[in-house]
């Protein structure tokens, strides 16, 4: 059965982007756990009109995440929802991540303010940055902040709700703090990189925090290995036009390389 929301939840405005994202994430979780959802039941338990629920399901189907059926939606298998843990990611493409981190460090100067997203590639960047003596580091990653405790850096760990799967802090508090920050450079890890869809992540709340990071940074550098290209995750962070540089390994698909260069994105291959 669908868990009923707390009293008053049905009175929340339907046009709030935060509520829309959370509601769709909730519906997806129900589909994955139960195998199907019904429009009428979702409407009653969430306090949202059936028209809005149908629009949510149509949106999710358009992203290839659910299969619409009469009166509801069914579960389908989709890589867009795949959200491996940080421990699982650490075992993958470690050599490529180290080379990417080395190239990223060359873009940093003493005294700068550097923002780091959560993830294993950005964790590798953080370890290389310990060669510097004077930096300000802003991050939403608890593990990165912990690794930098013995450095001379000023480390700012933003607040928020902990996502245990990625050791990252997300939510309205994290976004509010980031809106008050200004960084010289952002190193952003991604789960999916598609030249049409942009850069994406499996989690709605993570995408909102990443988007706030982009807005708060003078230069945006995506750091990812080549397996992330031509992949789409659930939620878009920003379009390609919002990033300045991509650092990746030399196995990047040729068509993607040509497309990025054609859009004026600086591409560093390691």
Q: What is the pLDDT of residue 5?
A: 45
What residues in the chain have per-residue pLDDT under 50? 1-15, 80-91
- What is the model's pLDDT at position 33? 77
For domain 9-77, give its CATH number from 2.40.160.210, 3.40.50.720, 1.10.287.470, 1.10.10.10: 1.10.10.10
What pLDDT score does 44 carry? 93
The pair phi, psi for residue 149, each rounded to 5°, is -65, -30
Query: What confidence score (pLDDT) does residue 6 get?
Result: 43
Q: State residue 93's pLDDT score.
A: 60
pLDDT at 87: 47
End-to-end CA distance of the chain: 50
85-115: pLDDT as tens digits: 444 444 456 789 999 999 999 999 999 999 9
pLDDT in tens, 15-26: 455 588 888 888
| DSSP characters over 198-235 | EEEES-HHHHHHHHHHHHTEEEEEEE--GGGBT---SE
Q: CATH class for domain 86-269?
A: alpha beta
Q: What is the pLDDT of residue 32?
A: 77
pLDDT at 36: 85
């Amino acid at each position: 059965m669908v868990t009923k929301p707390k009293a008053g939840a049905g009175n929340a405005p339907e046009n709030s982007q935060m509520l829309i994202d959370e509601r769709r994430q909730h519906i997806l979780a129900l589909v994955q756990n139960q195998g199907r959802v019904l429009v009428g039941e979702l409407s009653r338990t969430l306090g949202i009109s059936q028209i809005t629920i149908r629009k949510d399901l149509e949106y999710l189907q358009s992203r290839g995440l659910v299969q619409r059926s009469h009166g509801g939606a069914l579960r389908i298998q989709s890589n867009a929802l795949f959200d491996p843990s940080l421990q699982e990611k650490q075992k993958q493409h470690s050599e490529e991540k180290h080379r990417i981190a080395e190239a990223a460090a060359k873009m940093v100067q003493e005294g700068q303010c550097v923002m780091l997203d959560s993830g294993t590639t950005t964790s590798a960047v953080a370890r290389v940055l310990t060669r510097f003596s004077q930096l300000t580091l802003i991050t939403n990653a608890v593990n990165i902040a912990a690794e930098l405790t013995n450095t001379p850096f000023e480390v700012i760990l933003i607040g928020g709700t902990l996502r245990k799967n990625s050791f990252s802090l997300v939510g309205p508090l994290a976004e509010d703090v980031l809106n008050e920050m200004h960084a010289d450079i952002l190193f952003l890890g991604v789960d999916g990189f598609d030249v049409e869809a942009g850069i994406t992540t499996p989690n709605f709340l993570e995408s909102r925090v990443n988007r706030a990071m982009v807005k708060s940074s003078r230069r945006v550098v995506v750091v990812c290995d080549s397996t992330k290209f031509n992949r789409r995750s659930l939620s878009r962070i920003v379009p390609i036009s919002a990033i300045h540089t991509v650092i990746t390994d030399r196995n990047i698909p040729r068509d993607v390389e040509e497309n990025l260069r054609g859009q004026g994105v600086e591409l560093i291959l390691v």
